[in-house]
Every structure is written in C-alpha cells, then in structure tokens.
Structure 1
Amino acid sequence: MKVRELCLLLICSVAPLVKVASGQYDINIGLLYEDNNPLIAKIFDQAIESANSELLQNTNRLVGRTAEITYGNAFDASRKLCKMMSEGVAAIFGPISRGPSTHAMSLTDEKEILFIDTQWDDNVRQTTINLHPDPKTLVLVLRDLVEAYEWEEFTILYESGPYLPVLDDLLIIFEKFGHPITVRRYDLNLSGNYRNVLRKIRQSPDYRIIIVGSVETLPELLKQAQQVGLITHQYQYIIVNLDFHTLDLEPYQYSESNITGIRIFNPEDVRVQQLSAQITEEDDVFAYAEEEDTEMEAVKSQVTTAMALMYDAVYLLAETFRHVGNLELFQPESLACEDSSTWASGLTLFNYMKTTTYRGITGEIKFDHHGLRTDFTLDIIELTTAGVVKTGTWNWNPNGNNSLHFEREHHTFIPENVDLLFANKTFVVVTAISAPYGMLKETDVPLSGNDQYEGFGIDLIHELSVMLGFNYTFKMREDKNYGTCDNITKMCTGMLGDVTAGRADLAITDLTMTSDREPGVDFTMPFMNLGISILYRKPTKEAPDFFSFMSPLSTEVWIYLGLAYLTVSLSLFILGRLSPAEWDNPYPCVEEPTVLENQFSLNNAMWFTIGAVLQQGSEIAPKAPSTRTVASIWWFFTLIMVSSYTANLAAFLTIESLSSPINSAEDLANNVGGVTYGAKSGGSTFNFFKGSQHEVYKKMYEYMAAHPGMMTSSNEEGVDKAENENYAFLMESTSIEYNVERKCKLTQIGNLLDEKGYGIAMRKNSPYRNELSQAILNLQEQGVLSKMKTKWWKEKRGGGACSQKTESDSAEELGMPNLGGIYCVLIVGSFLGSIYGIVEWFCVIYRRARRFRVPLKEELLEELKFVMRCSGNTKEVKHRKSSMRSSRNSSLTLESIGTENSEGANLHNDDDS
C-alpha cells in the first residue's frame, strides 16, 4: 500500500516538470462574477474551452479560476481577489458592477496584474484593458446622431453619477451651437419611481429625449414613461445603452414613437446564436410555453453585451499568448495583498495585449496606448412595428473622421388614419375672438391668414391637421355670435349658421354642446369638459379675535390650568404647615425662640405658584421634601404647558380666517350678503337656468329675468362687474379658471352646477365626425390637450400672474388687532392693581386715624402731601408720644416683634407710635 502511494506521489511531482520541459504551460486566469449574473461564469468557461482548442491548440492551456461575490460588495470582491492572487493568476476578469470593479482595478494595478474590464468605465488604469467602448467615444456617436436628426433642442435624462462624464462632454460639444439642452436625473431618490421627473418632461416643450442609463432601470423607466404619456408619435428618443436590443420593446412597437438605440454586435450573427444555444444547454435554463398538447418548447437565452465582451476578452487573451509563443515568462506568481510585491511580467503582458488585434463577436478589437478600445463599429437600430431593425452604422476613426451611414431612411411614423378622406382637403374653420380659444397675435409686424391667430382652438385644429393630414383656413366671426338652432326648422344662427349654410366646414371656440344646438349640427366628442360655476371676489380676511392670545389653549384647558394653580397653591400651603422643615426661627440671634415662622402663607404659596407659571420665580425656596416634590412636579408641568403655548402662539397670532358672503348657489338664491348676480344674456349659461327644473336654479332664473340690468352682453363685462362690484357672475368653469389666473381678486365659488363640454361643430351627418373624434381622443390620451391647456391658461398672455405671487421673505408684522387683547389685559390688570393699592392705602390711614384718635382728614392730607412729593425712600415713624405704644415697643419679646413686623408690613412700614 505504501509503495502504491509513493508511486502516485512521484508521478504527480514529475508530470508538471515533464510538461514544462516540453514547452507546455498552464496559465491561470481568474474571474470575479456577481451572484446576480451567474451566466457570465458559464460564458467564461465556454470561452476558455473554445479558445484552448481553436487558438492554443492545447499546446498551452488557459485554466479558469472563478469566484462568486455578492452583488455590489467591494469587500467581498477584495477578499476573494486576494485569495486568487495568492494562488497565482496571469489576468483578472472583473465584475460588472461599478463598486467591486473599481476596487478590483485598484488592487490589480498595485500588484501589476493585468485586469480585463468589460463594463462602462471612464477610468484609465496602468494595467487595465477595457473592451467596452469608452464613454467619451459614445459622446461622439450621440453628437453625430443629434446632428443627423437635426435636433436643435432636447432633454438629457440620465440615471446617476457614473454617467455624468458623458453629459459633461455632450454639453461642451453643443454649447458652441447654442442649442438649449435640459438635463434631468430620473433616479433621484433610488426608489424606482420616476414619474415625477417624467411628468415634468411632459409639461415641458421638449419632444426629443436622450436617455443614458443601465439596463436594470431602463425597462421600468420606459414603462412609466408610457404611463404618463411620453411614448407617443410626438416623441423621439435616443437610448444610450449597448443592451438596448435585449429589452422587451413589444409594448412600444405600435406607439408611433421614434426610439433609436445602439449596439456593438448583431444578435443574428451565427456565432452569437451558437453561443446562446451553448449557454442555454450548459446552464439547463429553459423557458417553456405550455400548449394544449402539453408540449414544451425551449427558448434560447438572450446574449448581452457583457457576455459578448467577456467571450471576446478570453479569445483576445488567448490570441495574445499564441503570438507570444513561449509562455515561460508569463508563469503566474503567488502575490500577497499584505505586502508590496508585484508581478514582474504584468506590464509586459499588458503591452503585448494592447498591440494584439482580433476580430470577435463584437467586431474588430484594437486598443490605444491607454488600453481603451478603438476602431470599432456600432449598429444604429430603431424600433418599428416589425420590431428592432438596423438602420445604419457608426465607424470610429482614430483621426477623428468618424462616419455615420444610414442604410435606410430614418424611420418616421405616419399615422395610419391619414387616408383619402382627408388627403388634399382644405377646411374653412369659423371661430371668434374669445380668449384663450381664439385671439389675434400680439405683434408689431402685420400678419395675414392663419398666421394672425393663436389660441387653444387654433392649436387644436393644427394638431388635428398634422394627425389627419388636412389643410385649413380660419374665418373670424366678428360679432362673436355662437348661434342657436331651431328644433323645428333646423335652421341655425351665428357661427352654427355659417356651418349649416356651407360657408364654413368646422366651427371651434368655447362652443358648448347643448341639446338646443344638436338638431342643427353635429359635434365631435368634447375636447374639454366643464360646467357652470360662480365667479366672485376672493374671500376677505376676518379681523383676528381680540383675545387671540388665548387661542393656543382651549377654554377647557384654561379652566383646568386655573384649577391646577389653585390646587397646587393650597397643597403648598397645607404641606408647608405640616412639614417641620418649613418652620424657621425668624431671628437667628435668639437661640431659644418662643415662636417659629412659616414662609408658605397662603399669599406666598399662590405667589410662588404663579411665578413658576410666568417663568419669573420668587425668593421663596421650598425646604421640606414634600414641598420640594410638589414644586418640582409643578415646574415640570409649567415647562410643558408654557412650551406648548409658546409653540402655538405665533400661529394663532398671525392666523387670519377668510370669510365670504356666499359659498354656493343656494346662498345666491337666498340673497345672502346682498350679493347681486347674473350671466351673459342669451348665452348657454342663461338658458341652462331657464330650462332647469331645480328649485334653486329656477329661483335664480326668476331673479335674473326680473333684473335684466344684472345681465351682461359679454363675459368680459361680467368679469369686470365681479371684480369691481358686489356682484357674482355665472359662467363656464374653464373661463373662470382662465380669468382667476390673471385677475387675482377673483376666485371660483362652490362646485360645478352642471356638466357639459366644448366640441367642434360640423354639418349634420358629416363623414369627418368619427375620425375627428378619434383624433381628439388620441390627443387626450397622449396628454397633448393637457399641455395645450397649461400653455394657454397658465403660461401665455399673463397666465400664472396670481400663482407666481409669493409671500414676503420676512414674517408679516403684527398689528393692534392681533395684540389688542394683551394690551387690554395689561391695562385692566394695572388698573385693578392701582385701585387695590389706593383702597389699601386709604384703609391703613383710616385705621391709624381711629387708633390714635386723630382727624381722618388731617392724616389723609399729610399722607397725600408725602406721596405727592415723589422723593425719598425713607419715611418718618409718627405718633411716638403714646406712652402705651412706647411702653409696648420698649418691651421686646419674640411674640411682640413678630406682631409688630406683621403690622408694619400691613401698614407699608408706617410704624404707629
């Protein structure tokens, strides 16, 4: 048994020596791959196996060493990379995520080991070869595409910080052209919710968007963009990610949106198909589709750019070793991360690989002196109804003469509903001057034809003409008469009469769809929904409560606070009398006192308690544990109460309630506040009240019929009356929204009184009705109508004037209405204190006059003279002639001293003699 073991050991020891002697070497190469992408390891092993047989022909061999790391964990990557280097590796193929990759590059750079990168990276390292195109080169692709598509302004939407170098270079390139470029980051809070940013883009005028992001976030970004209405025929996209073709783009194929991407290899290439089949079979990963006969069909895995680059990287390394021939120089050495040792052949291998060229799956592979890829070709691809198709190529040239060639015309969707029905048709569209639906442009240059008009209705007709392919000419109705139709004769007046008589094909303005007009004309589906509402002055501010300083606390709390104050004061008074520690010798010089004094009289207890509430304190200090406990708890209580009161006081002093005499149609009907009201005479709003069966609305109609002076000839007149008089004007809610954006004194009162819509009028049984309605529906779903409303209501012609008003940076100053109650408390309290002092003073004089039998008038005048002199802080003690008093003062006892002190305090230091 021992002989057999010795033989095996001898064979294992000699075999490597024989192999080296014959010129055959095994070269260890390592791969760090992350746990969320195990197929990379399969690609790595498959590439090694194929490269050994095809390029090295098994004369030398690449031996793979793989280590799985946690996604994004740089520490895990560092630990396992150190273990690989200790075993000896000639090259490291790095992880894909940025953190571990950057850390691995730093370690290999320090140890001078070749690092082969296949990810988006703008860092240049001493021993790093990167097969992924340099991000700065991709900027040139973007520049050429933007110039080819003739984009003059666009938005750049990027994911996060690693993509900023691309943005910086792109902004520098286009800065000299003066193109307005908006830059937004879509992954702001790392929550996966991008809708807030996407809504801002939808509200902006940009329809051309460049997206720079990872393949992990792009699917959700496109999904949310479609949800907010950004994937429509109006929008054009360039997506900068070489894995664009691997995304599931089927939901967007029929969106009519122009979406362009780039890729570095053709997924239909035979080698790519073979690689896909190999890794699918190797990994036993199958996607099955169940049929009725329970047969299962395997679907091949999608080859990503990282997989293709990894495959090419292994082949390129094998090609480098094949050219070198003798690999004795490149035998790996064991290196420890803890010391400063380096691999002597690392830089040599790096230089060899930089000069090696190879044509792989991703095309021609060449490098510059920094190890960055050059001379590569990118496919320009676009999404069509048939899927992703190649439309051109972009070739990199080291001299800067990069070339962009389109194999087919840049794809532009043509709406399918442009047919012979609208082809070569020119419609006469009648409208009227009514802001913001139709207005004359404000310009110093004379204009004619359609160019002289602008507004919501004008833009709507333009959008419909672009979508359906017709031409149009506007005709202005000078008298602004929208018209009505007779139910019997079917004859119409005004704008509607122009349509029925054939003088116009369409009519558009704030034209309400009503049952009175339906007999004479047809309407499209409503392009705007609205209702009747009330326009009135904004509510005025109510004067603040005189005692607003009491508002921070409810009446109940104030009552309980008062009860708590009385309870604690009584507790201190009682405990002070019960606790021996609170009884003190009033005269410390007397060693054996006959009487003791207590500081917690009822007055002192109440004074101590109120002092804590008002944060003022007093000279009284509790001595007994019981009184100190009660005092401490009271202080804590007052701390919380005062803090809560102070925190709310500022808000209650500055708050001003708004009041309006009317809040609904019922208030108008009941003449609350004496507010008069009316509507446009003969308009659809007046007719609504005329035909309504609702009691309140009937009452309002009777009022308007009885007061014709309250009716107006136009909406503008009604708005002016509402702004300058005690008058409420009844009109459509959309017109109210338009006016309150510009006239800051006005607002909408109450809810809508009815529901109706504005539509485009045409002759009865018009063949264009369904197509126009469908086009309006499409514009509504795509958010175009919402954008147009924002434009004309809140932006153009003074829109947003009221919403843009901001409060002053400084706090609004407080006036007497806010603080009058506090002054009232001060005056009343001071007055009551003064009255009490005068009464007390008079009572002392009265008792003194009676006790010493002197005239009250004489004593009063003498004291009054002393007070009126207003000088001196000392006072002469009077009436010392009384023998009885003198005798009593001469015999000092503790009891008499205490009594005299008490009397002296009551007499304001006027000792009676």
Structure 2
Amino acid sequence: MTQGILALVTSTGCASASALQSLTDAMHIPHLYVQRSGEGSPRTACQLNPSPDGQRYTLAARPPVRLNEVMLTLVGELRWQKFIVFYDNEYDIRGLQSFLDQTSRQGLDVSLQRVDRNISKVFSNLFNTMRTEELNRYRDTLRRAILLLSPRGAEAFIQQAVETNLASKDSHWVFVNEEISDTEIMELAHSALGRMTVIRQIFPLWRDSNVRCMRNNHRISSLLCDPQEGYLQSLEVSNLYLYDSVLALANAFHRKLVDRKWHSMASLNCIKKSTKPWNGGWSMLENIQMGHITGLTGTMDFKANGSNSHVQFEILGTSFSETFGKDVKRLATWDSVHGLNGSLKESRIENGMQGVTVKVVTLLEDPFVMVAENILGQPKRYKGFSIDVLDALAKILGFKYEIYQVADSKYGSQLPNGSWNGMIGELINKRADLAVSAITITPERESAVDFSKRYMDYSVGILLRKPEEKINIFSLFAPFDLAVWGCIAAAIPVVGVLIFLLSRMQSLRTQNPPGPHQQPATQASNSLYSAIWIVYGAFVQQGGDSVVSSVALRIVMGSWWLFTLIVCSSYTANLAAYLTVSRMDNNVRTFQDLSRQMDVSYGTVRDSAVYEYFKNKGTNPLEQDSTYAELWRTISKNNGHDYSVSSPSEGIRKAKKGPYAFLWDMAVVEYAALTDDDCTITVTGNSMSSKGYGIAMQHGSPYRDLFSQKILELQEKGDLDILKQKWWPRTGRCDLNSHSNTTPDGRSLKLHSFAGVFCVLAAGLLLACLVAGLEMWWNSNRCGQEQPKEVTKDYRLARVSGPLTYNDITTASPEGRKDIWTERERDWDEAEAIDTGQGGESGTGASAYEQSYGRGHGAQADPWPVYRDLCAGHRQHAAQPAAGVCAGLPGHGPVCEHLSPGGGPWGGPGSDTSSGPWQHTPPPPPQQLHHPLHSVQTQSSQRGAVPTESRQDTHANVIPGSSRRTHPRSH
C-alpha cells in the first residue's frame, strides 16, 4: 500500500471479504470480490456491510447465490409435496432461510438433515435410533431428496443409501451445487438408484470457433476458450471469475489512459493516522462500473448495487426409461431474466406414444411442408417431405397430431431482449410440442430447445438463372484483334508487290542467255498476280510455285516464311487459350466464384440460420479466407435490405427474373430448380454439410429419445431414402445435370463456334463462281469482236510454239501423250492450211501473221518466205535421223532441237528406246521467245544447223518453244 494501489482483486470467503471491505472503503480503493465456497460445498449468501459514508468500493464480480430460486422452481415443476434436504457441515444453514419461508407458505412438508463427514456413521445412527416403522417412514421421505453437499460427499451418501436398502428404483435425487464437472455428474448418475437431477451453473458456450476465443478484441488462450480442452473443465468457477475481473480492470485502465484522466497513485498507510484516502479511487471505481466485457463467464457488468447479475443454471437429469439407460441429458435451463426454460415433469414412456395427441407447429417450405388439396369444412391438410417423416413416426409410435402454421412465418431466432420468435418461440412458450419443417439444428437453437436426430443432411446451395450461351460464329477470329487481322491482310499485297518489283529488276539485269550449266530464270513472279499468289500460298503454308535465285528475293521470302511461322504459332496458342477461357466465363460454381464476380448480385433470407452463418464467418477476425467477408459485405448491405429477402419464395422469384443468386438450403433450391416450369434456373455450390434437419421439441421433452431412435431405424431400413427420391427425383421435369455437365462437353468445339470457317469457305466458293462467270462473259465479248480467221491462226501457232512442262508429260497416261501430240499435229495442219489458202483466204492469214509478228519484233521482211522456210525446214528435219539439230539465230546464238530416245516431242523419226543416249542442249533464254512465231523467224534466217555438245540429263523441267519447231508428223 505504501507504493500505491490502483485496485484490489480477491477471492475469499464471507468473513475475509468483510474485513477487506472495511479496508478498501476507508482507503477508497476499488475492490473486485469473488466469493469462494469451502471444500466444494454449495455457496451461501454473503452479506456485505454497508459503508458508513454510503460509498461502497467493493464490487461483487461473482453473482449472488440464486440456488434457492432454482430449487423453488424445480419443486414446483416436479409437484413435490414432501421431501428432505441434506446439507453438510460447511454449508451455512442461514442460506436456506428464504427457501424455507417460501415452502412454508406453499404448505410443503420439508425436512432438514445435516450430514457429517463420516457418511457411514450417519446411516448407522439411523438404524440404531429408529425403529422399523420410523425407518419405513424415513425410506418414504428419502424417495424425494435434495442434496446440498460436495460432489464426493453426495456420491458417498447415495452409495450408503443404496447399500442400506433405503433407496429404491423410484427414488429421485436432486443434487444442487454451482461447481461440478461432467465426470463427477456421470459418477453420480451411475451410482444412483432411480432418477438423478443435477443443478449447476453454466456459462455461454461459444460453439462457433470464429468468435470463441475473441473477447472485445482480446485474444484468449485456446486452453481456456475451447470446450474440448480438459483444462477448462477442471477450473473452478471462482477462478473463471478471477480471470474476467482482471480483464475488466485492464479495460478500465486502458480507458483511463485514452481519456487522459489518470490519477497518480498515493502512498497509503493504515498505521499512520495522517494517511488520507486516494483521491482517484472513486473515479476509478466508476470507470470499472461503466465497463462492459464478455469473458469466460459471459457478460460482466455492475449495476447500481455493485454486483454482477448475469447468471445461468443448467438442469441435467437421467430418464426413468430403461431403454436409454443412465444417459444424462439437459432437461432445462434457468436464468434470472426468463426463469425456467424446459420441462421437468416426470414422464414414463413404456408403450410408445399410444393414444397421445401432440401439437405440431410448422412453416411452409417447399418441398418439406406444403398445403395439400383441402376440402371445404375440413381442417387444412399438409404434404411434403417433413410431413411424410412425421406420418411415418406417428404410424410407428402410435400418436396423433394437430398441426398449425406459425403466425410470423419464421423458423426462430433470438431477439435482442433475449426472447425467441418463430417456431422456437412457440416451443419455449409451450404452445406447441413439436416443430416440423425445414428447421436446421444449430448450437443457438439447441441451447433453447431439444432436437431429435437429423433425418436429412443440410447444406447451402446457390440458386441462379442459367447463363445464356453466347453464339459467335466468328469466334475463331477472336484470338487476334481486328487491327492485327488488318495488318496481316495488308502485309500480303505489300510483300507480293515487293517480290514483283525485285523479280522485274532481276529480269532486266539478266538479258544474256544462261550458260550450258545454268537453269533459266523463273518467270512465275514476273507478274503482280503471281507474286501475290506466291505470298498467299506461303502464308497458308501451301508452298510457292517457283524457285527464286536472287539473294534479295530469298531474303524477302525467308522473312515472310518466318513471319508466317510466328503468326500461325501465336494464333494456335491464343485460340487454345481463348477457347479455354470462354468455357470458364459466367460459371459460378462455388462461393469463391460468387465473391469474385461483379455481374450477379446475391443474398439470402434475413434473420435466418444462413444469414447468421455468413455473419459469423464474415465478421470473424481469425478467418483466413476472405471469401466470407466479401460475401457478408454484400449480403448485409443496408442491414440486408438491398440484396437479401424476407422469405425463401421471394428469393426464388428474384433468381428466376434476372442476374441474382439466392443462397439458401440446398434441398429447397434444388426442389425449386427441379420443378421450375421453364427450367431456367440451376443449383450449384455446397457447404455446411455437417448440419442437418431435425424435429424440434421442448426442453426436457420425453419424446426426444423415442423420435431419435425411430429416425435411426428409418435410415437403416432405407425408408428415408425412398421418401427423398419421391420429392427429389433424379429425373424430374428439369435436368439439374445439364448445367453441370457443360464442362466435359465443352472440350469439343460446337458447330456455332466453328461456323465462321465454313462461312469463309462459302464466301470463297461464291467469289470463285462469280469471277468465273465474269471471265466467261469477258472472253465471249472479246472473241466476238475479233476476226475468226485471224484468231484461229494466231491461236494455233501459239499453241504449237507454246512451252510444254515436264510435268505435263510425266503425269499423263500413254493415251494422254498421244492426245497431246495429236492435238499439236492438228494445230500445225490448220495453221499451214490457213497459210496456203486451203482452209481460208491466204491474204487474211498473211495479214494476221504479219500483224502478230510485227507486234512482237517491229518492222520485218515479208513473213511468207519465212513461213515457207519453216515448212521446208520441217520437211528437211523430218528426213534427218540425227539425234539433235541446232539452228543459229541472228544475234541470239544457236537454237537446238531436243530429241528423246523414245520419240515424241524430243525424238527424231528413227529414234529408238534402245539406241542413242539422251541428248540435251541448253534451251534459249525466255527473252528470245517473246513471240510464238519468233522461232519461225530464227529458223528461216539460220539455214545451217550445227549440233551442240550433248550431255546426259533426265530431269529437264522446261522445254523451250524452239525445240518444238519439228512438225508433229515427223514423230
């Protein structure tokens, strides 16, 4: 005290508390007092002396003794008229004064007997002092007994009563003590003969692990807050109140520091008369009294009288029924506000429930409870899964029931004032015996009423409208943006133009003919059309039509091929990713998916079990998953009025109309989806499968164990599965698996996704047909305007002197080869006939030739000698058996005729497959064959033909026009 005391926390008996109260009142020191009972005996009321100046600094942290009130309630419920009260030496008999006064006013016969520590001596004295008649009367009195003893003393007392044959099978023992553990209760129940009832103090059990260990932002050790830990069960009640008292002081000190109203501690001395009380004591006491904490013992606050009034008792007991043995169960609870909650009436159920009529409260919830077709003038009838279960139990147990709907259409939740609404409120107020509907078993409800075993598992589902499938026939073009496709389309003609220009430049630089061992330059890309076609063929990976020899052209083509490779690879990769993502779009399958998306709003029924579940999960600071916090923010927006609904039917209607997800019981929403008229809604998601649906009944109801046993039998027989199949068929009006099975089928491309390719193909085919029609129309008009004879001669000469590729020969059948040369022979004959006038007018033919030749080579001499020389040369050549003939052209070098060993266009008249090697001479460059009749001029100007150096060649690709001057008849 000399160093200063802020407050004092003590746990003593009544005598020590009075002395400490005098000290703290004199020194103005706040005092938190926790009353402790001696050696396990029940507490008695401890009266504190009033302060002389009226300012008492002692606060009672442990609530006053309320055992007398609980015992009076119990005696009234059990309707006892005669009973005996046993108490031990440590118990203060003055604590029973109020109890005895009340029983005396009610005319009850109450006996008192003190029990010494030597229990066996007590019963031996009874037999020594009482006669047989007195013992019989005493045995009758002992059938109803209240034990105010310690747990060990009560167990020893009951054992002695059983051994001395003073207890019987219909004895009823009531053990009253605030502090008794579960183990001690089980020992008492198994040692007692007859029925055992236990009254003890309990504290709010935070069954939800989310808030169990958090008290006003204060973290409590799991050893103290977890009921599964044995350490918490072994603690005395007084120690729990000591923990909460220290917590209350710590919060008061913190508020003082925050408000900056701290008073320095004064040195106190009881010996010195000059010592003055602490000036800050009263301010500190008021700060403690204004505090409100929630600790291990529940809510702790101090009223004007300086005591904590929050206290709750639990009444446990065993049943008389031999079917269930000595199992201990909760019968009822008692608190200072609501009194008794439950039923303590003795009930012996030996022949089931034959002839019993119970009142059942229900709530409409498809498909659990629905209104059936009613007949006018008769009571309302109901149907549904829960009604079928109730009918099955009624048939087995033999009871009848009267059913009615709850007025407020709620299952039941606890209100701020501590009362319950809905069906739970009907049971608590004893207006109904059973509650049957889609009511779930929760810890909060189990603290108020009893439940049978679950008859169906419970989970939360997500009801939402089926997503409308978006059809895009050009989805295959989606991997690239429109700008990328435009750039690719523009690159094709740009590269084609570049190749065309480079090819033209190369042809202008190479005017001289190639050497003996050189290949002729390609002409495939000399036109712009051919160049663009080559570029397009490379882009679609179909190759080119020519061989390029220029380095610049090879660089351009190599760059284009690399560009094509990168574009095709990127398109393939992006297409696979796009199709994967498109299958995942708009698929809400879990609560995580629902919390991450922003397109669909969601909610549940306000003030329901689902609503409370998301509230507890979302507001838990220890929850690592942020999914529930995000869900709760949306559900509870504007106190649940923005997205949550008032009833399940409203939520189902809202989910059908638009983008809204309704979170509710999986069984209810699954039935709604199965029976939907349009089959536009589906169900997904699953959670909280550890809960279930049960039948609720009053606390301590004698029907609970019977109902639980029969429900288990129905599950084992499979009857419940048959009822489930009746209301939740696998194949109903709507198929719930149609939405969930979209993932496996989504791996294959649908027709509407691939239709764009067919559209492109159809567009190409239509364009080709259109162009072909335009070409036919253009050619028909052009041919009609020209002279037939001139056209015919030019056409025939061009066909005879035109180039013939190697592929035309090798890929044709033998008959095809004959057709080729027969056609060329016919062209020669018709051209010669035109010239000689046999097939037409010679003048016209000469004019056509002269015009054709003049356009190719400018002004020349008379062409007719040349043409005659051509024919004469042809005849001369036909007579020569040589393998090859070379003819010199003015200014162009020699022009050689190519012969093949087997005859044909390259062979002489007498050639044979077995004689003569393959003869080949380099063909003239393309620029020397500018006009089809150019070979005719060179033939007439060069009479002498000198054979060139022959070489072996089996892969000639191009046969120049000069090699075809030999008349086909010479073959």
Same fold (TM over 0.5): no
TM-score, normalised with respect to structure 2: 0.33
TM-score, normalised with respect to structure 1: 0.35
Larger radius of gyration: 2
